Structure 1
Amino acid sequence: MSSDALKTARGQWGSRFGFLMAMIGAMVGVGNIWRFPYVAGENGGGAFILAYLLILFVIAAPGLIAEVALGRYTEKGVIGAFRDVVGPGGLVGLGVVVLLVNVALMSYYSPLVGWTLYYAAHSFLFTFTSAAFRPEPFLDGFLANPALTIAMHTIVMALVAGVLLFGIREGVERVVVVAVPALVLSLAAITVRAVTLPGADEGLAFTFGVRWEFLTFSSTWIAALGQALFSTGLGWGIALTVGSYLRKYDDVPLGGGIFTAIGESSVAVLAAFAIFPIVFAYGLAPDTGATLAFVTLPQVFSEMAAGWIWAILFFVGFFLAAFTSAIVITEVAVTTVSEETRLSRRQTVLAVCGLIWLLGLPSALSADVLDFADFVFGNWGLPLATLCIIGVIGWKLGPERLRVLSVNQNAGVYVGRWWNGVVKYVVPAIMLFIMAYFAYDSFGDPRMIAGMVVLVSFPLAGYAVMRYLEGGEEPGPSGKAAGGDD
């Protein structure tokens, strides 16, 4: 076999369970336990959860099915998949946009995974059940130590690179099938204890009581959209990349859409069950921000029988779930760069992980930078990347073509023609309305301005890159994806 053939041969998931756990492992992690509770706390609790669930099942689930199916259909990474659909030329730059957003998100996600690693290490030292433990000074001391935060960020990216060097089946799949069940088990145990704390009923009322006025705020809807895309991975290129490694008898609608949406939302709501009762029981503010999960959860372990065991289970599970997300997020860039260059997989892994490490240094040094990056790329970059993917499927490839040739291939759950209109019209229309509503409502805000810069500069950069790399060729039919709409 030639070296070129060896380079382009694709791995596959070893089992359907491995595929399902890779989808859940990519989505369940920091987004559910760190991001979901504090964003809900800042946007009205139950009202935000209602908006989030609506967007999750109206936009994210159909979109995930489409993105996974596109990966299976093309059997390529992000840029290769876009080239198959739109032909060579500048429009392939839409795939570059997805890749740029993916790397930008991972640059601040890695330092966050470093936070979970630091806490996991301290769980083995019984820090969280000691009489002297105080959660806020503990976190503040960690964040004020740049050598320590950079060290955690560095270790995380080194571990990500190590797993990715083993490939899909031997690396990624072996980690995800253990990490996700461990996290869910420990989080459920914490929830049981949290809801029995004095004052926990106020937390439950905050979580599930809907203050209807929040549903009229544009900030609630843009936050819910950003959270749904962040925590499901729609628009990251993750679902596309995971789908490109599917076997012919894997079930896209079940694994790529229904299972992922239900599993992801269940863990997010479970995290809210665990965190908000603790917040109110200990007199904390629910809108504390990005540090909320790291301040509230550690307080409950000293109140639990054998709390040190649950602390270890939770923080190790939290780290592993966050770590598996980091692995699959980074695999998007690794798969794409490996396909688009002459670099070997080993060289690609080292190059991509090195770049992410470098770009992640500002977020590792400052929690404020991390928080700003999360708002800009989570609420503006991710919707942009999602619109690129959904737009290409809905308006270039054609959802009917994808539905027949990929979505319903060996599917246990049949997807009807209704899905075509949802992907082509409903998803982009709702997303554009929410984004425009928020931009109008927050005109002049620095974070809105930064978001506008991303919306304009990333497509221009992607177009310029592909025009340069492909010698100015104009888009044209490309064989596999030629053919039209529904």
Structure 2
Amino acid sequence: MGKHEKERDGFKSRTGFVLACIGSAVGMGNIWRFPYMVSDWGGMTFLLPYILFVILIASTGVIEEMALGRAAKGGPIIAFGNCTEMRTGNAKVGNTIGWIPVLGSLAMAIGYTVIVGWIFKYTFLAITGQIADMGQDMDVIGGVFGRTAAAFGNNFWLVIAVLITAVIMAMGIAGGIERANGVMMPLLFVLFVGLGIYIFTLPGAVGGYRYIFTINPSGLLDPKLWIYAFGQAFFSLSIAGNGTVIYGSYLSESEDLVSSARNVAIFDTIAAMLAALVIIPGMAVGGAELSSGGPGLMFIYLINVFNGMAGGKIVGIVFYICVLFAGLSSLVNLYEAPIAAMQEIFGMKRATAVGSIAGFGCISALMIQGIVSGWMDAVSIYVCPLGAMLAAIMFFWVADREFALKAVNTGREKKIGAWFLVLGKYVLVPLAFVALVAGALLGGIG
């Protein structure tokens, strides 16, 4: 491992690391699910429990996964192995368990590749004016998306999505991932703010703002509200025992993980709120009900709204560029865990690992285009919360107390106390189990 660690790539700055983690966290959940959940559950009625859960998960799970990866200088396979070796003297058990979140990350990446392919196509359609040409004919709008989402319906743009992702990743952590997120994330926020300001000037938008910032106290008594708010926060912060662990492994020991986790949580929440402040008032401007989350919101209903508002063509272009940045940055993160595993476990050079995983991911994504919704549901319901729970168990229960506290406090002036371990053991781990069970019972909660 000594030689391997010397050759290991890494983030060159704390800002680059935080932007990459924000890029990982800011994804489709922020854009096509969060606004819908805010609308469906009544504005601030949903936001209050959501923000509480964001604070809880950022204070435990995000810090824990970053610390686990940094301490191990490796992804889940090496990190889990280190934990079981501490407890039992046997790393093989942890190494084997570590494959679960790695394969989960690959499975999620394959499904996400299909979606990012859609986004590339719709960004092109927006820029070339073809979305504006659809007008407000829902049969036309729905037909275009139906053909795109069909089996083998978007082969060209899917391949483009994989090629661009592979190029970013082949350039390495600092030269590729850090640099790409350093451009995409600031631009995403600037463009979303610009969209929000423009929507604010349109007649009818005030109805959307009024809805977002209204609270219904009786709604807070519904247990399902709290379950869905937790699920949204859980998945939005991208803890699944894979991407955050591997990004943490590239981080210097001089960096303050607690501060980094706080920044990721803050900017992820801001991105979700910006999406809500664009989409919900935008729907109000168009006189439409926000009655659908998921792909239907982004590729059907919003097109109808954009094409009915003043300046809608430009709004559509900016919106899809924002979505493209969010999707691409998340896709890079999802592919990184399996690529890193190929390097760490099989000794592959980075270019070879990227080519192998990207090739497999591309072929698999092409094959599942017609069933991607079911694929993503299965992975998000079962594999992601299982990976998050396993990582938390390894860090808080299997590894020893001294290791956990040292891993978190390295690079930090004001040390975290034992409360962190108590919260992780007795709150985060059970809640990850709740996410797994509730997701299975309710057909997904995030």
Q: State the TM-score bracket (shorter-chain normalisation).
A: 0.7 to 0.9
> Cα offset for 1:167?
1.1
The equivalent residue for 1:358 is 363
**How well do the aligned residues superpose, as a CA RMSD in angstroms?**
2.9
After superposition, where does 1:70-469 map in structure 2 within 5 Å?
Answer: 70-87=68-85, 88-129=91-132, 132=135, 137-138=140-141, 140-145=143-148, 146=150, 147-212=152-217, 214-217=219-222, 219-255=224-260, 257-290=261-294, 291-298=296-303, 299-300=305-306, 303=309, 308-361=313-366, 363-365=368-370, 369-403=371-405, 405-411=406-412, 414-433=415-434, 435-436=436-437, 442=441, 447=443
Q: Distance in 2 between matches of 1:164 and 1:36?
A: 28
> Cα offset for 1:81?
1.0
Q: Distance in 2 between matches of 1:438 and 1:212?
A: 25
- Paired residues, number: 436
CA contact under 8 A between 1:226 and 1:382: conserved in structure 2? no
Change (3 A) 1:47 1:53: same
> Cα offset for 1:168?
0.9
Q: Distance in 1 between matches of 2:379 and 2:225?
A: 17
CA contact under 8 A between 2:170 and 2:350: conserved in structure 1? yes
Q: Distance in 1 between matches of 2:417 and 2:388?
A: 22
Q: Distance in 2 between matches of 1:126 and 1:380?
A: 40
Q: Given residue 49 of structure 2, which amino acid in structure 1 is its aligned partner?
A: A
Change (3 A) 1:437 1:170: closer
Q: Distance in 1 between matches of 2:56 and 2:4?
A: 41
User: Match of 2:30, SS?
Assistant: helix
Change (3 A) 1:264 1:396: same
The equivalent residue for 2:88 is none
> Cα offset for 1:80?
0.8
The equivalent residue for 1:470 is none
Structure 1 alignment gaps of length 5 or more: 452-486
CA contact under 8 A between 1:78 and 1:98: conserved in structure 2? yes
> Cα offset for 1:425?
1.2
> Cα offset for 1:238?
1.2
> Cα offset for 1:296?
4.8
Deviations 1:437-465 (A, max 9, x none): 666xx4xx7x47xx9xxxxxxxxxxxxxx
> Cα offset for 1:363?
4.7
CA contact under 8 A between 2:396 and 2:404: conserved in structure 1? no
CA contact under 8 A between 1:408 and 1:414: conserved in structure 2? yes
> Cα offset for 1:74?
0.8
Q: Distance in 1 between matches of 2:439 and 2:180?
A: 39
CA contact under 8 A between 1:201 and 1:277: conserved in structure 2? yes
> Cα offset for 1:99?
1.3
What percent identity do the matched residue pairs reach? 26
Q: Distance in 2 between matches of 1:200 and 1:302?
A: 14
Q: Given residue 271 of structure 1, which amino acid in structure 2 is its aligned partner?
A: A
User: Match of 2:410, SS?
Assistant: coil
Change (3 A) 1:34 1:414: farther
Deviations 1:29-88 (A, max 9, x none): 322112322344444544333332221111244211111011111101110111111132
Change (3 A) 1:137 1:224: farther
TM-score, normalised with respect to structure 2? 0.87
Deviations 1:341-363 (A, max 9, x none): 14332222122222322333355
Change (3 A) 1:356 1:38: farther
> Cα offset for 1:215?
4.2
CA contact under 8 A between 1:47 and 1:210: conserved in structure 2? yes
Q: Distance in 1 between matches of 2:216 and 2:434?
A: 22
1:30 paired with 2:28, answer: yes
Q: Distance in 2 between matches of 1:230 and 1:109?
A: 14
> Cα offset for 1:274?
0.9
CA contact under 8 A between 2:75 and 2:246: conserved in structure 1? yes
Q: Given residue 276 of structure 2, which amino acid in structure 1 is its aligned partner?
A: A
User: Match of 2:197, SS?
Assistant: helix
Change (3 A) 1:236 1:156: farther
> Cα offset for 1:310?
4.9
Structure 2 alignment gaps of length 5 or more: 86-90
User: Match of 2:11, SS?
Assistant: coil
Q: Distance in 2 between matches of 1:48 and 1:362?
A: 37
User: Match of 1:360, SS?
Assistant: helix
Change (3 A) 1:236 1:397: closer
CA contact under 8 A between 1:223 and 1:379: conserved in structure 2? no
Bigger mean CA offset, 73-82 vs 183-192: 183-192
Q: Distance in 2 between matches of 1:427 and 1:161?
A: 34
Q: Distance in 2 between matches of 1:31 and 1:275?
A: 13
Q: Distance in 1 between matches of 2:139 and 2:125?
A: 15
